[in-house]
Amino acid sequence: MNERSEHEKLLRDSQAYDYNDRYLERGSVPVSVEDELIINSLDLSNVKSILDVGCGTGRLLSKINARYPNIEIVGLDLSSASLDVASENIPTGKFHCFDLSNGDIKEIVNKKFDRVLSVQVIQHLQPINHSHAVSQLVQSVSPNGKLVLELYNHSGLIRKIEQIMRRNLNKEVKHDLFYEYRFSPSDIEMLLRTFGKAKINGCQTIPRKLLNRFPKLKDTDMKLSRKIFSKYLAYYFIAIMEF
């Protein structure tokens, strides 16, 4: 495990037991929009298996498991403490420690999956590790399967306004144990191009504060996030690769 991974592991281990509460602090409506868009992108009807790389505490996998209890669930994460929480929440799931920055998934789980998911993980890896990480995800997808990535949208209008207000426009952010490389949709398209073509959708096109104040905007946000232009506005984006 490299030094950057060690830092990330320490951070995620320390957050494991209150991570879900921290995540919900942004508001139940924006989180619901984000989760629904990711799950819809996965298209889980008739799916037999899903691999979540960087599953953390299994917060999103728990939702998937509740709706699709017959899908085989496997989760990989750097943080053993987070995986302990995930195992408690999804007793039928299989969870393993794994470092996406330089590890080989086949050594942990020697099979392919109908769906491979990775949410806000690659952004915490240094650029030198990005290509390896994507290759590992792609190699884990079954023929006719699908890979879904969700990342912060560095160039999205909503996030850009937030960054300007905070005077924080850097592509790379480093402090204490935390590291983030901020992708734009064009960045991730270029990275994925080596492995195939990706479709990019927006995610949370309406600002969180508005969603929290006016929950009825949720359906509108879901519809807007599926539009082609949404990737230029949204707070997150979802990249979908089909094989």
What token pair was written down for 18? Answer: 């209150």
pLDDT at residue 146 in the model: 98
Q: Residues of the chain with pLDDT > 70: what percent?
A: 100
pLDDT at residue 107 in the model: 96
Residue 75, beta-bridge partner list? 52, 95
User: For the segment 200-236, what is each residue's pLDDT rounded down to a tens digit?
Assistant: 999 999 999 999 999 999 999 999 999 999 999 999 9
pLDDT at residue 31 in the model: 96
pLDDT at residue 167 in the model: 80
pLDDT at residue 176 in the model: 86
Q: What is the DSSP letter of 59?
A: H
Whether the CB-CB separation of 226 and 219 falls below 8 Å is answered with no
pLDDT at residue 94 in the model: 98
Whether the CB-CB separation of 90 and 72 falls below 8 Å is answered with no
pLDDT at residue 101 in the model: 95
CB proximity list for 32: less than 8 A, separation 6 or greater: 218
Does position 1 have pLDDT exceeding 80, yes or no? no
Give residue 20's domain range. Answer: 3-242
Q: Which of 177, 84, 161, 82 is nearest to 124 (CA)?
A: 177
Q: Into how many domains does the chain fold?
A: 1
Q: What is the mean pLDDT of the chain?
A: 94
pLDDT at residue 165 in the model: 85
User: For the segment 153-180, what is each residue's pLDDT rounded down to a tens digit?
Assistant: 999 999 888 888 888 778 999 988 999 9
User: For the segment 12-36, what is each residue's pLDDT rounded down to a tens digit?
Assistant: 999 999 998 888 888 999 999 999 9
- Interatomic CA distance for residues 56 and 189, integer angstroms: 25
pLDDT at residue 226 in the model: 92
Q: Domain of 65: which CATH number? A: 3.40.50.150
Q: Residues of the chain with pLDDT > 90: what percent?
A: 85
Q: Which amino acid is at 207?
A: P
User: For the segment 49-105, what is each residue's pLDDT rounded down to a tens digit?
Assistant: 999 999 999 999 999 999 999 999 999 999 999 999 999 999 999 999 999 999 999
The model's confidence at residue 118, banded by pLDDT at 50, 70 and 90, is very high
